[in-house]
Amino acid sequence: CHLAIQASNQEEPDMDDYEFLKHIAQICCEFGVNFWPLLERKDEEFQQFTSIILTLSHVKSLNVFSLTLSYWGAFIERKRSVENSTSLSSKDEMLLFSFGKILEMTVDNAFGTNGMSKLDEQDFVEEDEFMQAWFNLRSRILDFVRKMSILYPSQLLLFTSENWKQTLSLRSSSGDQGAVL
């Protein structure tokens, strides 16, 4: 978790640490996807584990973010298979919080530089390869958003309106002219 925080905050992270971090992300996400029932039994451990995945989601790497999106996708699929209740559980709140962070990262990527980070330069030889991976990931994100909107329509409408207003006002006041989702 410490490595993920460090990698997300550094301008030029240590590449050996990044390789290790990618392996940790892969292990954590695979564990979360495949051993969901073990995690789900205890709320405290579940929240701690999900917090680790959320921290990994902040690493400025397309590959690491893609791995964590697999976990969030499994989270939604499990949730969809369970009968919906009218009240939000702590797991629902964690998912909604995580969804918000995922949307923020997506918006930042869409309106930001659209270029490869230092970490992405280690994973992709050419920018075309990176762009193809980014478009693939973006379609997975849109699928994630669609599934979330089915599960939590009113919460997501409120979240989206608040964040888009804030994001668009910040972008228009700073004069950014980035790409659009």
- Residue 123 makes CB contacts below 8 A (sequence gap 6+) with 61, 62, 63, 130
Tens digits of residue pLDDT in 19-41: 888 999 999 999 988 887 788 78
Decide if pLDDT at 66 tops 80.
yes
d(CA 177, CA 75): 34
H or E stretch at 103: helix 90-111
**Residues 5 and 64 sit within 8 Å (Cβ to Cβ):** no
* Mean pLDDT calculated for residue range 81-91: 61
Given a cut of 70, whether residue 99 has pLDDT beyond it is yes
pLDDT band at 88 (very low <50, low <70, confident <90, very high): low
pLDDT of residue 6: 57
**Long-range pairs for 164-171 at CB < 8 Å and ≥24 separation?**
167/104, 167/107, 167/111, 171/111
- Rounded to two decimals, the pTM is 0.74
Please give the pLDDT value at position 157.
78
Least confident of 6-15, 62-71, 73-82, 152-161: 6-15
Q: What are phi and psi of 82, to 5 degrees?
A: -95, 145
Burial of residue 145 (number of CB atoms within 10 Å: 0-12, 13-18, 19+): middle
Domain ranges within the chain, ordered by starting residue = 2-174
pLDDT of res. 11: 52
Residue keyed to tokens 């478009």:
135
Q: Residue 180: pLDDT above 50?
A: no
The arithmetic mean of pLDDT across residues 37-61, rounded, is: 82
Tell me how long the chain is.
181
Q: What would the pLDDT profile of 132-176 be if each residue is shown by its tens digit?
A: 998 898 888 888 888 888 887 877 777 777 777 776 776 666 555
